[in-house]
Amino acid sequence: MAHPPENDEDEGGRGVSRRTFLKTAGVGAAASSLAGVAIPAAGATVLGPGAAPLTLKVNGAARTVNVEPRVTLLRALRNHLDLTGAKEICDRGACGGCTVLLDGEPIASCLMLAADAEGHEITTVEGLGTPDAMSPVQAAFVEADALQCGFCTPGFVVSSTALLRKNANPSLEEVKDGLAGNICRCGTYSRVFEAVQKAAKASARPAAKRG
């Protein structure tokens, strides 16, 4: 039997992919920060279909990128600004590998359009520290060997940083909750927990001395 031409690369070859959906909804609504919002807000700028310039505030600096409206924040960071710390692992919000801070809140940057990130403060793992001046969380990860292949690690570092900013002294259960959106295939979880609790102690020490 002949089969109709197959031209859909999506799961099971059926339906509209998230990517085409975003494309259809390729509207840069400066006022909206929700990915996939299909209805343009009043006064929204309609971008596309071609590439359009956007200004993103990343790690304290304003950066201009020229991207199609369907490009996610993750791909804008990685493919247009060479900030490759955030990883594209599942590209659908399931793994946490692409976590960045948006106005201080951890988000999956694969689930947000770059256009929707305009006007927000974006912090990537590169903005938290450098190899020669690591943040306490980063240093604790290295010391506790909370990484193996390290591909998930930037996501864990950003999520852990966000967690400790909200809760300076989390219990083990709170650490597990805070990192529930991050997957590590090499199996580093217990050493990540150790690192987060080490980093919490390290930051608490000066305060304890003062007290």
Where does this chain bind ligand FES (CB under 6 A)? Answer: 88-91, 93-98, 108, 110, 147-153, 184-186, 188
Residue number with CB closer to ligand FES (186 or 204): 186
Cβ closest to other proteins, residue 31 vs residue 130: 130
User: If you ran DSSP here, which 8-state letter would residue 10 be given?
Assistant: S
The residues facing 102 across adjacent strands are 105, 122
User: In this structure, which amino acid lies at residue 12?
Assistant: G
Q: Which of 145, 165, 166, 201 forms a contact with other proteins (CB under 8 A)?
A: 145
Asked if 44 and 32 count as a contact pair (C-beta separation under 8 A), the reply is: yes
How far apart are CB 94 and ligand FES at their closest, in Å? 5
Angle made by CA atoms 116, 118, 125, in degrees to the nearest 5:
95
Using CB distances below 5 to 8 A depending on partner kind, what does residue 191 bind out of ligand FES, other proteins, none? other proteins
Coil/strand/helix, residue 108: strand
Interacting residue with other proteins among 143, 167, 202, 203 (CB under 8 A): 143
Q: What is the DSSP letter of 131?
A: T
Asked if residues 182 and 99 have their Cβ atoms less than 8 Å apart, the reply is: yes
Q: Smaller CB distance to other proteins: residue 78 or 120?
A: 78
Residue 105 CB, nearest approach to ligand FES (Å): 15
Check residue 61 for interaction with other proteins (CB under 8 A): no
Q: Give the footprint of other proteins on residues 73-132 (CB under 8 A).
A: 75, 78-79, 82-92, 94-95, 97, 124-126, 128-132
Angle CA(60)–CA(61)–CA(65) in degrees, nearest 5? 130
Cα separation, 138 vs 46, whole angstroms: 40
200 binds, among other proteins, ligand FES, none (CB under 5 to 8 A by kind): none
The answer to the question of residue 60 lying near other proteins (CB under 8 A) is no
Q: To the nearest whole angstrom, how small is the minimum distance from the Cβ of residue 148 to ligand FES?
A: 4
3-state DSSP assignment of residue 144:
coil
Q: Which helix (H) or strand (E) holds 5?
A: none
